[in-house]
Structure 1
Amino acid sequence: MATSLKSLSDHSSKNIRNVSDRTFGIIVSEWNEEVTESLFSGAYQTLLDHGVKKENIFRKNVPGSFELSLASQWMAQEEGIDAVICLGCVIQGETKHFDFICDAVAHGITNVSLKYNKPVIFGVLTPNTQQQALDRAGGKHGNKGDEAAITAIKMLGF
């Protein structure tokens, strides 16, 4: 969690193994594109910084965060993919839509990870405002994309 004391881009180097031969799928929601493109940039660069080859990073886009669950299932079922990173942003609105979408996506991504016994990482921001989203997508609180990529790397070293 990003706070004034901890950035999403800060991480421990414990359990980081060589992942240069591993393959990663990154699924990016097109909704809130300004935010999700920044999340993707953070995740992609973090993977490269940890030795992942460009040709071992596969990106797919989906219309919104709700579609991350099914897209992650399609990607996770591919034998050549070692870990999947799901990136999205659902900003609180005036209706309960936010609650339903966030709950469904969290459960869906968890279920895919358990079904395929692979890391499927929840890199979805659930802020109250656009500014909070930007603060967590490369702004003053770091980048959730960085955190998601590090989580995937660490889970492969478990």
Structure 2
Amino acid sequence: MTKNFFYIINANYYEEISSRLLKGATSYCENNKIDYRIIEVPGALEIPSAINIINEKSSERAGSDNVGYVALGCIIKGETSHYDVVVYESAYGLTELSISKNIILSNSILTVDNYEQALERSKDDESNKGYHAAKACSRLIEIKNGKI
């Protein structure tokens, strides 16, 4: 059986939140003996591009057919419509990549009204959305491998 390998793409615009999400995702990986590599990007809009670039580089695929991508980040609603654009475009980009290129991908880009909501979703326990994203990615690989 081939071992799973995750690329964790971490948008660090909100450093405290992204580090908490990252801790959740890496905790899941370590608890389940999943190897991973962390790729830092400035914001949520860069995540789909980073995944596409990594996916296109076959030498970067860690020698495993069970490669998954975990998208982590946070978008907090502000006073302008920029929030709506970033939310839509990042989600669309990830969905398009997943479907058109048959990429195993899970999305934990938080879309929240305020910082407190982001903190609540990135607690240091199994309710952490980064933890959930890594778990979802693992489940998608199981489905790909016929464990339905």
- C-alpha displacement at 1:113, in angstroms? 1.1
SS at match of 1:85: strand
- CA RMSD, Structure 1 to Structure 2 (Å): 1.8
One-letter code of the match for 1:76?
Answer: N
Deviations 1:20-56 (A, max 9, x none): x11110010110110011000100110111121xxx3
Secondary structure class of the residue paired with 1:120: strand
1:60 corresponds to 2:39: yes
Question: 1:37 matched to which residue of 2?
Answer: 19
Count how many residue pairs are aligned between Structure 1 and Structure 2. Answer: 137
- Residue of structure 1 equivalent to 2:56: 77
Stretches of structure 2 that go unaligned for 5 or more consecutive residues are 144-148
Pair 78,120 (structure 1): closer, same or farther in 2 beyond 3 Å: farther
2:69 and 2:125 map into 1 onto residues whose CA distance is: 26
- 2:76 equivalent in structure 1: 91
Stretches of structure 1 that go unaligned for 5 or more consecutive residues are 1-17
Aligned letter for 1:71?
Answer: A
Match of 2:123 among 138, 147, 157: 138
Give how far 1:141 is off: 8.8
Cα gap change, 1:125 to 1:85, in 2 (>3 Å): same
- The CA distance in 1 between the partners of 2:8 and 2:78, in whole Å, is 26
Deviation at 1:75, TM superposition (A): 2.1
Taking the aligned partners of 1:140 and 1:59, their CA distance within structure 2 comes to 20
Q: Is the 8 A contact 1:31 1:63 kept in 2?
A: yes
